[in-house]
Amino acid sequence: MAPFGESAEQVAHEQRYFSQAAKRAWFSRWFGARWAFAGRMLFGETMLVCSTALVRRECIDPLNGFDPDSRLVEDVDFYGRAIRRFGVYFMDRIALHYRVGVSLIHRPGVQATIERSYRLMHDNYRAQWGRLDFILLKLFTRTLLRWP
């Protein structure tokens, strides 16, 4: 029996997801956590979900919280900004267990909203860090960070 009434399939999905995230984090740390992890958040498969991250209280105010213009994946934007500005530590062990359910991003018909949210994230990143940084980060993420 899976914990909290989850199906065995949901638990297996969770284990695969975080196992892959740990591999991506291990590989990314060799390139500098701020840049490599932010690149993964913006251009790759995210390494965390909203309930699996902690942010120091003093880091939240300067980031102005979640972007109210982002309809979905607002946590990806927030954590990407936090990582790029303040750094990150990826703890590869279970520190909490959360209830797995159907994610909003897997519902039919939301792909266009997700794409708009990522375009907004990219526009905001360019505005804060500059066009050259954005282009280099995208190139770096899509080439050197393709594995794993």
Encode pLDDT of 25-66 as tens digits: 888 888 988 989 999 999 988 777 777 788 889 999 999 989
pLDDT band at 1; cut points 50, 70, 90: very low
Q: Residue 105: is its pLDDT beyond 70?
A: no
CA distances from 99 to 4, 11, 17 (A): 7, 9, 14
Closest among 128, 144, 117, 130 to 42, alpha carbons compared: 117
Whose structure tokens read 């946590």?
75
At residue 44, the pLDDT reads: 86
- pTM of the predicted model, to two decimals? 0.79
Greater pLDDT, 109 or 137: 137
Q: Which of 2-6, 46-50, 92-96 has the highest mean pLDDT?
A: 46-50
Average pLDDT over the chain, rounded to whole? 85
CB 40 within 8 A of CB 145: yes
How many whole angstroms from its chain centre is CA 46? 4
The predicted pLDDT at position 67 comes to 92
Count of residues in the chain: 148
Give 6 or 36, the one with higher predicted confidence: 36
Q: Which two tokens stand for residue 139?
A: 């190139």
Domain-wise residue ranges, the chain: 3-142
The arithmetic mean of pLDDT across residues 13-23, rounded, is 85
Per residue, the 3-state secondary structure of the chain, as one string, reads CCHHHCCHHHHHHHHHHHHHHHHHHHHHHHHCHHHHHHHHHHHCCCCCCHHHCCCCHHHHHHHCCCCCCCCCCHHHHHHHHHHHHHCCCCCCCCCCCCCCCCCHHHCCCCHHHHHHHHHHHHHHHHHHHCHHHHHHHHHHHHHHHHCC
Q: Provide mean pLDDT across the span 111-116.
A: 90
